[in-house]
Amino acid sequence: MNNHDFPFGDHSLSARASGALWWSARGVLVVSDLHLGKSDRMARRGGTFLPPYETQDTLSRLEAEIEATGARTVICLGDSFDDLGAEQNLHPDMRDWILRLMAGREWIWVEGNHDPGPTDLGGTHRAEVALDGLTFRHIATDDGMAELSGHYHPKARIAGIARPCFLYDARRVILPAFGTYTGGLRAGSDVLSGLMAPDARAVLIGARTYVVPYGAC
Amino acid sequence: MSALPPYIQDWFDARNWDLHPHQQAMLDRADAPATLLVAPTGGGKTLAGFLPTLVELGAEPDAGLHTLYISPLKALANDIRRNLTTPITEMGLNIRVEDRTGDTSQTTRKRQRADPPHILLTTPESLALLLSYPDAPKIFAGLQRVVVDEIHALAESKRGDQLMLCLSRLSTLAPDLRRVGLSATVEDPAALATFLARHPDPCAVLHADPGPAPDIDMLHTDAPPPWSGGGGTYAIPAILEQVKAHQTTLIFHNTRAQAEIFFHALWLANEDALPIAIHHGSLSREQRDRVEAAMVAGQLRAVVCTGSLDLGIDWGNVDLVVQVGAPKNVKRLVQRIGRANHRYNAPSKARLVPANRFEVVECVAALEAVRDGDLDGDTRGDGPLDVLCQHIMIMAASAPFSAGDLFDEVRRAGPYHRLSRADFDDCLTFVATGGYALRAYDKYQRLQMRGDLWQLRDPRTASQIRMNIGTIVDSEMMKVRLKHRRGGAPLGEVEEAFAATLSTGDTFLIGGQIVRYEGLREMTLEVTPNHSKTPKIAVFSGTKFATSTQLSDRVMGMLHRGDWSALPAHTADWLNLQKQVSRLPAPDRLLIETFPHDGRAHTCVYGFAGRNAQQTLGLLLTQQMELAGLNPLGFVSTDYATLIWGLDLPPDPGALLSMDQMRDGFQDWLNGNAVMKRTFRGCAVIAGLIERNTPGRRKSGRQATFSSDILYDTLHKYDPGHLLMRITRDQAHEGLVDFGRIEQMLTRVAGRIDHVALNRVSPLAAPLFLEAGKIPIKGAAQETMLARAAEQAMAAAGLAP
């Protein structure tokens, strides 16, 4: 199964093997934690010189998802840029690429802890977004209802194999990180088990999706 | 002949000691630019290295560093300080001896830089660190001698390459510097001399009297070794008898896991409660210190150990070495035997305990090789470029440099004397700007050219460089502690990959005790003592030795000869059984067995091509099987065979061995496999692309760190010509991927393949099931397994997928 469809409130959502979430009824594609420009930020702050190709890799996968779904709206769930400087330092080709992807569709940048301010790329910039009763924000809140968020980069391990994953229960969905240079936080870690209900599910991603009970990972 | 000054001569006379001839020879050669001394353990090698220093310094030496002593082990540096201080005090010399290792306090280190001792004892990493400071020229300006101990061990790894680069720098700072290398018996002393010497200076090799031939034999046991298994527990009654009959016995194992299992079984059988301890690299420092102290105090009758005791302190009362498991390498065996050196000029005594019947053949072959004095060894190639990248950073941290001067200096190091300017420049570019085809970092240059000199753009980078010094790249390890409210006793470390497979309630062995996994607390495994008898096996990393090619040739020869008179009856019987049930491997033919076992389809290929080539064969064959839809899951290789398991049996395994198919896309396939990624990680850490994990950083941000595999995949996709990819390919080719030998083997075999389809494991294949170093295949089968596991988990929870 390439994608895992699941009901969420009154809506039907699809967790895609790429790590993107597709809401077909509204034509909305959601991706979280792109961390574009991560290598630039690390180098700028005196860290190591990572291969500076993660932005183009992330954008090419995002482009493929937009093409595959025909999304009319794209919501980036925060930490789209590794910091605001990373956005300003984008290579002109990468900037043009993003503008090309944005053209002809609604594009919403949700603020993340890495990228709190507006960018000059256009689109809409929001702290959070409400659509048809669903709330899109970067970090899950304790009392969140019908809430979709990112931030934690959840990953799970089944049969000894670790993969990034979606987590969902009746109240919230937490998306995996879509960016190329991202690691993961164990789905069973304290902070995530504090958020997710015991009957939650994890959807592991990669070549295809795998659904398991949250308690099994 | 150089005479000893009276205060040293008197000291010798007072003890009724004479100089050994090699000690005299070292004195006579004190002015030579480089000398390599090859001597057995306990031959007064260390004193031979230091005598010229004591003579030169005299009774009332001037201040300043005179001699630098470098050892691969911190513990050895400590020990030498004690052993050296005694004669210096007794001779009434005013010579200061200090050590400087990772354990030395900040205050002492600072003081040592301002006011160095006459003799400084240190490790390669601590020396590299010293050379990274701006005051290095001042510290080393008067340096006269450098003594590299256990150089044979250092020369086998990148630590030795780094050390030689550092010696090259020392020779620039102190042009009169003379070098001495101290080595155990090696197969090619001339190559080691070239490695040590300042290129192209000569380096003479001195041989100490090797002493009497060792008393070495198989250990005779009542019970025959099992058909398979790696533990050697069947021999415990016989080994306990030996322990009782000797003063102190060292019981060597090849892996930490085996040492743990053996130790546990030994304790259960130790009815006389003989004081026996365990020592290996995964145990906590405190535990190892306790064992070493008890050993020095003569309180122990035996120590179960691994390669962690191959080097180090000479324990005078060891009179027997027991090697459990095939020795894998004749040279290492000879060096281990040398640990039983209670009296110089008495033969050292060793007994071999094959763990299973295949190893009987290997042990007998090794005994023959020792008696023939036929040492094995693999020649190492030129110095690796990842180490050079790190060295360039260290030099930059110390002072601005001219590229031309540094290039010349680097070429004076033995392992780098063939280095091309183009490779040097690539390393320099990598350090300066990352060296990517997409020149993204020109604005952030780590190194900048000012005038004619390269220097750090931001001097604060120096401290970061210093934190990443060293060429030892451990796999990710996690600490194990006893669970206690205020943090219990540390027990040791296990690999993170092993830790990830544990669920609460699982039991495993560490430090000879069975413990129960309770949970994770701040990246530490918490465990409680457990009294069950059968633990889940501990999977420690334990150094995996590859049997040398020379030794596997001997083994193949022995099987082929058909004359098994040198073998014990049980082993000859086993080979006969193999002959009945299946076939024996023959030169110029290739035996392939297929059989089901434990719900998996197994294919075993007996190539006798050496571990590197068998490993490559495993990678190539599994790729063919993946393409053929046979769902391979993994494989393991020894020097003799490759065992592949998966979901489906190949109907015609010979068809998988088509040379053309294998060569097609070889390079492409090579780039994607796990071995390359593992190699890449090591190179990337050494070259400074990945920073070492410091405990604090790991705790704070797990989601901020990501796997080096992602970096590898990204480079492979967008910048395959990058320096680090080139280094990775070179090292993988050298160490693990021996494609040429596969071609030779297949050409020799020329399609003469003996395929035997069996309904169960064959006698010859059985030992392979216990081999460490299994390589998983991340292919379709992994996806199938994931899907099955996911379905099972959903079903177990009463949910529809």
- Do B223 and B112 belong together in one domain? no
Same domain, B588 and B507: no
DSSP state of B765: T
- Tell me the CA distances in angstroms from B542 to A107, B252, B255, B475, one per residue in order: 53, 12, 5, 11
From B714, which residue of chain A is nearest by alpha-carbon distance? A53
The residue from B354, B371, B388 where one domain ends is B371
Give the CB-side neighbour count of residue A184, counting CA atoms within 13 A. Answer: 24
Check: CB of residue B616 under 8 Å from CB of residue B779.
no
Q: How far apart are CA B228 and CA B356, in angstroms?
A: 5
Quick one: which H or E segment has residue B606?
Answer: strand B600-606
| Residue B794 domain-assigned (yes or no) | no
For residue B787, the model assigns a pLDDT of: 76
In this structure, are B179 and B280 located in the same domain?
Answer: no
pLDDT at A100: 97
Give B548→chain A minimum CA distance, Å: 33
* Stated pTM of the model: 0.83
Residue B434 lies in a domain: no
Q: Are residues B314 and B349 in the same domain?
A: yes
Asked if B256 and B287 sit in the same domain, the reply is yes
Note the maximum CA span of chain A: 48
Q: Helix H segments across B401-539?
A: 403-411, 421-433, 461-467, 496-500
Please state the domain extents for chain A.
3-216
Whether residues B221 and B315 share a domain: the answer is yes
Per-residue model confidence (pLDDT) at position B543: 38
The verdict on residue B446 lying in a domain is no
Q: Do B152 and B270 reside in the same domain of the chain?
A: no
Torsion angle, CA of B381/B386/B388/B390, rounded to 10 degrees?
-150
Task: Tell me which residue of B706, B703, B724 sits closest to B715, measured CA to CA.
Answer: B724
Mean pLDDT to the nearest integer, A80-84? 94
pLDDT along chain B (801 residues), means of 10: 85 88 93 93 80 91 95 81 88 93 88 95 95 96 95 91 98 96 89 95 91 87 76 90 94 84 88 90 80 86 84 73 85 79 75 86 87 75 94 97 98 97 98 94 92 93 90 74 76 71 74 78 78 61 53 79 82 86 86 91 88 77 84 84 90 79 60 72 92 52 68 94 93 63 76 90 81 64 72 74 52
Which CATH topology does A3-216 take? Purple Acid Phosphatase; chain A, domain 2 (3.60.21)
Largest Cα separation within chain B, whole Å, is 91
Please tell me the total number of residues recorded for chain A in this structure.
Answer: 217
From B606's Cα to the closest Cα of chain A, the distance in A is 30
Looking at residue A73, its pLDDT comes to 98
Same-domain pairing of B597 and B520: no
Q: Given B444, B786, B799, which is nearest A210 (Cβ)?
A: B786
Of the residues B349, B371, B393, the one at which a domain ends? B371
- Within 8 A by CB and 6+ apart from B106, the residues are none
Q: Any idea what the Cα angle at residue B531 is, between residues B526 and B532, rounded to 5°?
A: 100
Q: Is there a domain that residue B621 lies in?
A: yes
Which residues touch A149 (CB under 8 Å, ≥6 apart)? A32, A77, A136, A137, A138, A139, A140, A172, A173, A174, A175
Tokens representing B579?
């002959």
- Report yes or no on B404 lying in a domain: no
Q: Among B371, B387, B421, identify where a domain stops.
A: B371
Residue B154 and residue B54 share a domain = yes
Encoded tokens for B666 = 């070889």
Say yes or no: A54 contacts chain B, CB-CB below 8 A. yes
pLDDT at B668: 56
The tokens of B211 are what?
Answer: 């002493």
Q: Quick one: B152 and B282 in the same domain?
A: no
Element (H, E) at B128: helix B124-131
- Quote the number of domains for chain B: 4
Which chain B residues in 407-446 lie under 8 Å from chain A, judged by CB atoms? 433-434, 436, 438, 440-441, 444, 446
**Beta-sheet pairing, B248-252 with B119-122:** unpaired
Instruction: Check A162 against B500: CB less than 8 A apart.
Output: yes
Cα torsion through B49, B52, B55, B61, rounded to 10: -80
Reported as a single tens digit per residue, the pLDDT across A113-157 is: 999 888 889 999 999 999 999 999 999 999 999 999 999 999 998
Please give the structure tokens belonging to residue B26: 């070292």
Q: Name residue, tokens 């001569």.
A: B9
Residues B36 and B166 reside in one and the same domain: yes
Residues within 8 A of B (CB atoms), A 9-28 only: none
- pLDDT tens sequence across A154-199: 999 887 678 999 999 999 999 999 999 998 898 988 899 999 999 9
The answer to whether residue B29 is domain-embedded is: yes
Quick check: is B416 in a domain? no
Domain of residue B523, residue span: 477-529
Contacts of residue A53 in chain B, CB cutoff 8 Å? 436, 438, 714-715, 717-719
Same domain as B220, residue B174: no
